[in-house]
């Protein structure tokens, strides 16, 4: 009960702070000069559709906007996945008192790549390496390498299609803007991993804190409907279905007395997810923000079904309904540095049936609290034509605690996680390369 009250108070404070910031922004907007847009032009695009750029800006000709509203529109364009940089200019229109808004866009190449190399160190051995298919094979460190190549094409005036392949499998995405002639977008995502993806569900779905390794591969399909608004806000609805072939589930910290059940094999598993979310975003960059705030309030309903080998009954099932709040604020320091602080809260209700090991089940409460501190340094920047190159050094500390009232999860009360990471990221119009180190501690951290 105490934890529930504390989470409710923190949630109330977060929402009050967001409301206060929003009210201040509205008051400042009312005093600004306004511009009547006669036309909107997009310049600098070679492959991208100008219709998608205008649709993402949420601006319409014949309407009047303030300078801050136009700047906000540029930020929305800047957050498009194929836009590297965006700026605006106002030119005199044909009629007196009107203007032509010019959106100057620097687009990414139609072909792109992503690569990464991370050296991981664990405070105590963790069963998170895909090569270790038994819970007794634990790692204190590993080296994770990723590589992806892909291509993006534009369909008609408002459609985009991308395909990518790499170590994580094959991905396909289709997005349509200005759906039904409104400020709506619809996005379909499909992915398939051939071998051995690892998933660690939240304690609400697997209260024994297990890592699920799909030896036979996995597939995921998602459908997202978004409704952005001009005042930094958006509504989002998402449904997703994930399936995995035969595999093994093992406790992340290994088989010992702190867990119920331990390792077991399964013939297949399925996850369903439905999410409704409200988003508020004033950040100035989608990947490495130096200023602005973001807030996400989401209601999730998720389920997990698994066909367990050698268990009676063999059908494990769990449901979770959770309300979560995630907020982050970015502060620029000098010209090349920025600091960010974030807070996340989540609380919900879960029910588990036939958890392997002792056949336990029942309904219980779940909660999670997390905090993030981040420092970003821009080491190099060259964004004038024809070159676009940026080099960042990003360091981050993340701590979180989660717990349930089930009584058959980890003995830690609560389960704490700390992650310290530092990486150098190179970004160009061809893609990104990330090289870094990460230290992880799970259990009793604080």
pLDDT tens digits, 413-438: 788 889 999 999 999 989 999 999 99
Residue 335 to residues 281, 340, 351: CA-CA distances in angstroms? Answer: 22, 15, 50
Q: What is the mean pLDDT of residues 2-25?
A: 51
CB 254 within 8 A of CB 140: no
Query: How far is residue 214's CA from residue 130's CA, in Å, rounded to a whole number?
Result: 9
Give pLDDT, residue 391: 94
Task: Tokens for 298, please give them.
Answer: 């989401």
Give pLDDT, residue 359: 57
Helices and strands (DSSP H and E) totals, the chain = 3, 22
Distance between the two ends of the chain, CA-based, in angstroms?
22
Task: Tokens for 200, please give them.
Answer: 């660690």
Domain boundaries, the chain: 32-107, 111-443
What percentage of the chain exceeds 70 in pLDDT?
Answer: 83
The confidence band for 302, taking pLDDT boundaries of 50, 70 and 90, is very high
Give pLDDT, residue 392: 96
pTM (predicted TM-score): 0.83
Give pLDDT, residue 96: 85
Give pLDDT, residue 17: 53
CB 166 within 8 A of CB 114: yes
| Residue 42 CA, distance from chain mean position | 29
Q: DSSP readout, 336-389?
A: TEEEEEEEEEEEEEEEEEEETTTTEEEEEEEEEEEEEEEEEEEEEEE-STT--E
pLDDT tens digits, 242-297: 999 888 888 777 654 444 456 788 999 999 999 999 999 999 888 899 999 999 99
Q: What is the mean pLDDT of residues 1-22?
A: 52
Segment holding 226, helix H or strand E: strand 218-228
Is pLDDT of 135 > 50?
A: no
Q: What is the mean pLDDT of residues 131-137?
A: 41
Give pLDDT, residue 411: 58
Query: Helix crossing, 67-78 with 50-57: angle to 10°?
Result: 130
Query: How far is residue 6's CA from residue 11's CA, in Å, rounded to a whole number?
Result: 9
Q: What is the bridge-based pairing of β-strands 431-443 and 218-228?
A: unpaired
CB 331 within 8 A of CB 291: yes
Query: How far is residue 331's CA from residue 118's CA, in Å, rounded to a whole number?
Result: 27
Is pLDDT of 222 > 90?
A: yes
Is pLDDT of 136 > 50?
A: no
Quick one: fold of 111-443? Answer: Porin (2.40.160)
Is pLDDT of 158 > 70?
A: yes
CB 90 within 8 A of CB 101: yes
Pick from 256, 311, 216, 255: which is nearest to 135 by CA?
Answer: 255
CB 232 within 8 A of CB 26: no
Quick one: fold of 32-107? Answer: Ubiquitin-like (UB roll) (3.10.20)
Residue 392 to residues 146, 397, 434: CA-CA distances in angstroms? Answer: 19, 17, 9
The Cβ of residue 97 has, within 10 Å, a number of other Cβ atoms equal to: 10
Is pLDDT of 337 > 90?
A: yes
Give the 3-state secondary structure of residue 97: coil
Pick from 274, 280, 188: which is nearest to 234 by CA?
Answer: 280
Q: 215 versus 235: which is more confidently predicted?
A: 235
Q: 209 versus 22: which is more confidently predicted?
A: 209
Pick from 398, 388, 397: which is nearest to 432 by CA?
Answer: 388
CA geometry: angle 436, 441, 442, nearest 5 deg: 135
Give pLDDT, residue 260: 47
Query: How far is residue 101's CA from residue 70's CA, in Å, rounded to a whole number?
Result: 9
Is pLDDT of 27 > 80?
A: no
Q: What order of strands is seen across the sheet that includes strand 64-66?
A: 64-66, 34-43, 98-107, 83-92
Q: What is the bridge-based pairing of β-strands 159-166 and 169-177?
A: antiparallel
Task: Tokens for 432, please give them.
Answer: 């990104």
Q: 286 versus 385: which is more confidently predicted?
A: 286
Query: How far is residue 352's CA from residue 323's CA, in Å, rounded to a whole number?
Result: 18
Is pLDDT of 140 > 80?
A: no
Q: 4 versus 178: which is more confidently predicted?
A: 178
């Amino acid at each position: 009960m105490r934890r529930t009250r504390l989470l409710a108070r923190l949630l109330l404070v977060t929402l009050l702070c967001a409301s206060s910031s929003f009210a201040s922004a509205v008051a400042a907007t009312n005093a600004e000069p306004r511009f009547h847009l006669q036309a909107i032009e997009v310049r600098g695009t070679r492959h991208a559709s100008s219709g998608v750029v205008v649709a993402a800006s949420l601006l319409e000709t014949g309407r009047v906007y303030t300078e801050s509203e136009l700047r906000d529109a540029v930020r929305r364009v800047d957050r498009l996945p194929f836009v590297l940089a965006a700026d605006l200019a106002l030119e005199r229109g044909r009629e007196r008192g009107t203007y032509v808004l010019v959106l100057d866009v620097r687009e990414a190449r139609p072909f792109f790549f992503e690569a990464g190399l991370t050296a991981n160190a664990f405070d105590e051995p963790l069963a998170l390496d895909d090569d270790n298919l038994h819970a007794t094979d634990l790692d204190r460190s590993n080296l994770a390498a990723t590589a992806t190549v892909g291509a993006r094409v534009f369909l008609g005036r408002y459609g985009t299609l991308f395909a990518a392949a790499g170590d994580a499998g094959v991905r396909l995405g289709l997005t349509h803007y200005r759906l039904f002639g409104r400020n709506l977008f619809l996005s379909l995502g499909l992915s398939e991993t051939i071998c051995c993806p690892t998933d660690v569900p939240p304690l609400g779905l697997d209260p024994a804190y297990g890592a699920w390794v799909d030896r036979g591969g996995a597939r995921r399909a998602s459908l997202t409907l978004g409704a952005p608004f001009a005042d930094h806000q958006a509504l989002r609805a998402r449904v997703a279905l994930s399936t995995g072939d035969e595999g093994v589930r093992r406790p992340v910290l290994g088989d010992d007395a702190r867990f119920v059940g331990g390792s077991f094999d399964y013939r297949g598993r399925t996850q369903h997810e439905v999410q409704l979310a409200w988003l508020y975003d004033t950040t100035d960059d989608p990947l490495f923000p130096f200023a602005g705030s973001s807030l996400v309030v989401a209601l999730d309903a998720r389920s997990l079904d698994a066909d367990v080998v050698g268990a009676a009954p063999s059908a494990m099932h769990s449901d979770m309904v959770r309300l979560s709040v995630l907020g982050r604020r970015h502060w620029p320091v000098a010209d090349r540095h920025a600091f960010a602080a974030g807070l996340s809260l989540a609380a919900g209700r879960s029910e588990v049936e036939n958890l392997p090991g002792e056949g336990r089940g029942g309904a219980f409460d779940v909660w999670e609290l997390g905090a993030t501190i981040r420092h970003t340094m821009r080491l190099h920047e060259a964004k004038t034509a024809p070159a676009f190159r940026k080099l960042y050094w990003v360091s981050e500390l993340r701590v979180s605690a989660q717990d349930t009232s089930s009584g058959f999860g980890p003995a830690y009360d609560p389960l704490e996680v700390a992650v310290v990471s530092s990486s150098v990221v190179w970004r160009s119009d061809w893609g990104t390369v990330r090289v870094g180190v990460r230290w992880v501690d799970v259990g009793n951290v604080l």
